[in-house]
Amino acid sequence: MNMVTDNAELELARQYVELTRRSVFLTGRAGTGKTTFLRQLKEERPKRMVVVAPTGVAAINAQGVTIHSFFQIAPGLKIPGSTGTVERRKTAYRMSEQKKNIIRTLDLLVIDEISMVRCDLLDAVDDVLRQYRDRTKPFGGVQLLLIGDLQQLAPVARDDEWVLLKDFYETPYFFSSHALRQVELTTIELKKIYRQADEEFINILAQIRTNTLTAATESKLNSRYVEGFKAPADEEWIRLTTHNAAANAYNSRMLEGLAGADWNFRAKISGIFPETSYPADEVVTLRDGAQVMFVKNDPTGQHRYFNGKIGRVTSISGRGVNVRCKGEDKPILVEPVEWENMRYELTADGELKETVDGTFIQYPLRLAWAITIHKSQGLTFDHAVLDINRAFAHGQTYVALSRCRTLEGLVLTKPLYVGSVICDHNVDSFVNKELERSVHSAEQLPQMERDYLEALLDELFNFTALANALEGMLRVVKRYPFLAQQDFVGPLEEAAKWFTIDAADICARFRRQYLSLLEEASLTSMPEAINGRVKAAADYFMGEVSALALPLLRVGAIAFSNKLAKSQFDRAVNELKAAVAIKTATLHEVSENGMSIRGYLDAKARSQLHLPMSPASRRTKRRN
């Protein structure tokens, strides 16, 4: 089953991402399919996209990279108006040309676990994107897909950090980012819950999520308090705690209670794999009888285990670790698996791909009598003991409860009291406002699709940049008498006049045609009737560019005695080359294949990377 096409909200999100340039905040309760949507989007890759996340573990889980590493943002606070983060004075990162090119040709930036992204970090991302793209647009004009649930884990802002930030931001959350407030955002809330099926439990979770717990619901939930609860021997129960120390102490105590010797398995790490991104313990210590949890899906495709599945070690040998899970006839022979630390790079032909920077090989197991709520995010449990009365942050209680499939499958170590449910009214205010503003997002989609196609066509049939480059070159030539006597001056004047005056007039008349056709069309893609005219127009303008502009790039060697003249002339020629490269690449793509979003964006990206034009693009066509 394709979850996206079987879910109206997920399908709407896909269409917004693929068919418009509108930025999207994809949110929803725990277990509504956000992770699955991201996985399918990565497989389809409708645009040149990069996936980032706020923490190393979140990035590994999303098969992406961390925000700090991709954008080369130093640790520390980003104070608005400063030249960098507070820590950047100590640590400076030099961005490679390849990374700059990836950023310049990026269409879609996906940020997973956006609830944990702090406002100043998002503004730092905006700074980098503006630096290497369009300085006049938020995030350099890149489309954003922000994925996460604000009712889950919040960004970390220590008291000493917030003292410095509070004069600039209303809240630590991503939505207080100054750059994001300049973005038109469509919020899509996923409503279909895949993790839980019991309506009563779903309603309890909804009340916890919105801090509207009634007395009756509180009583129902506290009926799951069992004093001195001991898990049945034939069931795997996991304890969720608010603090690492409590989880580690509980696991150590349970492990020591088992007979037998410890088996210590040390991870094999190669290449670049930061310690903060380790997806499993560097040293996994096990004994026969230990309760363990799998921390990765089965990479063999046999679906023997999944991330969050719990079992018990039955034997350990040189061949591997045998783990038996409830309801299964035979144990699973678990062997070490590999995680990859990815980075993005450009191939020789301009494709954006993920490359392995380092590997981490370890048994995909963790002691699982207890884990922290933070580490449980994204997981699902059939049986869990919840030690949540010491919750200290927004969303912790909700995350813990929502990990469970059923109310009957959870036990509370103490009755829940209202103080354990910590919710931030700033989150509720933002989400409610966004949902109200985006209530008609499905009805608005066709118009936004038209707007996007219109913007791409306007960009394709706009020769201002080319005309400016020609005029700039002409000004340099006329500035120096020896250049004004060169043979190419006449063709340069002709080209500058044509693209400044004639092309602008023709494009204005053609624009009225395609706008009228777009307004009448029912869009799911570019209608063939419009595409035929667009292809013909692209072919015509390709001929004009080939006849008028391309020959100017083949200017013969000129003997310069004036260094300033040479510098100015070379700069003008390079600007003309860049303008011609974009126009020849995009016009050729559309004249050959018609206007498709993916094809156009790819052709434009390749031209920006200064890749060689195809032989077909080099042809010089006779002007009509």
pLDDT tens, residue by residue, 160-205 = 888 888 889 999 999 999 999 999 999 999 988 777 788 889 888 8
* Per-residue model confidence (pLDDT) at position 523: 67
Check whether residue 462 and residue 602 sit in a common domain: yes
Check whether residue 203 and residue 190 sit in a common domain: no
Check whether residue 181 and residue 281 sit in a common domain: no
Q: Mean per-residue pLDDT for 601-606?
A: 92
Last residue of some domain: 194, 220, 251? 194
CA pair distance 126, 139, nearest whole angstrom: 4
Q: In sequence order, which residues have a C-beta less than 8 Å from that of residue 96 and are 6 or more positions away?
A: none
Distances (CA, A) of 151 to 31, 255, 312, 318, 394: 13, 34, 33, 45, 7
Q: Mean per-residue pLDDT for 392-420?
A: 84
Q: Mean per-residue pLDDT for 2-21?
A: 85
Check whether residue 416 and residue 472 sit in a common domain: no
Q: Is the predicted pLDDT of residue 614 greater than 80, yes or no?
A: no
The pair of structure tokens assigned to 396 is: 């912790």
Closest listed residue to residue 224, CA positions, set 369, 396, 376, 383: 383
Residue 429 lies in a domain: no
pLDDT bucket at 5, cuts 50 / 70 / 90: low
pLDDT tens for each residue of 282-335: 999 999 999 999 998 898 888 899 888 899 999 999 899 999 998 888 999 999
Last residue of some domain: 174, 194, 214? 194
Residue 437 lies in a domain: no
CA pair distance 287, 19, nearest whole angstrom: 53
Name which residue leads in pLDDT, 546 or 378: 546
Residue 358 lies in a domain: yes
pLDDT bucket at 23, cuts 50 / 70 / 90: very high
CA pair distance 317, 363, nearest whole angstrom: 13
Q: Can you tell me which residue has the tokens 């209202």?
A: 418
pLDDT tens for each residue of 420-467: 676 777 887 888 888 888 888 999 998 999 999 999 999 999 999 999
Check whether residue 260 and residue 402 sit in a common domain: yes
Residues comprising the chain, all counted: 624
Contacts from 225-232 at CB under 8 Å and sequence distance 24+?
225/411, 225/412, 225/413, 225/414, 225/415, 225/416, 226/411, 226/412, 229/385, 229/411, 229/413, 231/383, 231/385
Q: In sequence order, which residues have a C-beta less than 8 Å from that of residue 61 and are 6 or more positions away?
A: 35, 53, 279, 378
Distances (CA, A) of 501 to 146, 284, 421, 505, 524: 43, 72, 66, 6, 35
Residue 3 lies in a domain: no
Say how far residue 386 (Cα) sits from the centre of its chain: 32
pLDDT tens for each residue of 511-534: 999 998 888 776 666 777 788 999
pLDDT tens for each residue of 160-171: 888 888 889 999
Closest listed residue to residue 338, CA positions, set 265, 290, 270: 270
Last residue of some domain: 423, 451, 481? 423
DSSP calls for 250-291? HHHHHHHTS-S--EEEEPEEEES--GGG-SS-SEEEE-TT-E
Name which residue leads in pLDDT, 235 or 304: 304
- What dihedral do alpha carbons 541, 543, 546, 547 form, nearest 10°? -110
* Per-residue model confidence (pLDDT) at position 420: 67
Check whether residue 502 and residue 456 sit in a common domain: yes
* Per-residue model confidence (pLDDT) at position 50: 95
Tell me how crowded residue 220 is: count the other CB atoms within 10 A of its CB.
15
Check whether residue 221 and residue 255 sit in a common domain: yes
Domain holding 575, by residue range, is 443-618
DSSP calls for 326-392? TT-SS-EEE--EEEEEEEEEE-TTS-EEEEEEEEEEE-SEEE-SEEEHHHHTT--BSSEEEE-TT--
Check whether residue 169 and residue 203 sit in a common domain: no
Q: Is the predicted pLDDT of residue 87 greater than 80, yes or no?
A: no
Check whether residue 46 and residue 181 sit in a common domain: yes
Residue 431 lies in a domain: no
**Domain at 125, CATH number:** 3.40.50.300
pLDDT tens for each residue of 143-154: 999 999 888 878
Q: Is the predicted pLDDT of residue 601 greater than 70, yes or no?
A: yes
pTM score, whole prediction = 0.81
Residue 23 has, within 13 A of its CA and on its CB side, a CA count of 21
CA pair distance 67, 53, nearest whole angstrom: 6
Distances (CA, A) of 533 to 259, 405, 456, 538, 590: 79, 55, 15, 9, 11
Residue 435 lies in a domain: no
Check whether residue 462 and residue 582 sit in a common domain: yes
243-247, 581-585, 614-618: least confident range: 614-618
Burial of 465 (0-12, 13-18, 19+ CB in 10 A): middle
* Per-residue model confidence (pLDDT) at position 620: 36
Residue 359 lies in a domain: yes
* Per-residue model confidence (pLDDT) at position 314: 95
Please count the structural domains in the chain.
3
Tell me how crowded residue 499 is: count the other CB atoms within 10 A of its CB.
26
> What 3-state DSSP class applies to 312?
strand
16-25, 510-519, 556-565: least confident range: 556-565
Q: Is the predicted pLDDT of residue 2 greater than 60, yes or no?
A: no
- What dihedral do alpha carbons 29, 33, 36, 38 form, nearest 10°? -60
Q: Can you tell me which residue has the tokens 């979140």?
A: 58
Name which residue leads in pLDDT, 493 or 623: 493
Check whether residue 205 and residue 119 sit in a common domain: no
Check whether residue 36 and residue 172 sit in a common domain: yes
**How does DSSP classify residue 55?**
S
Residue 343 lies in a domain: yes
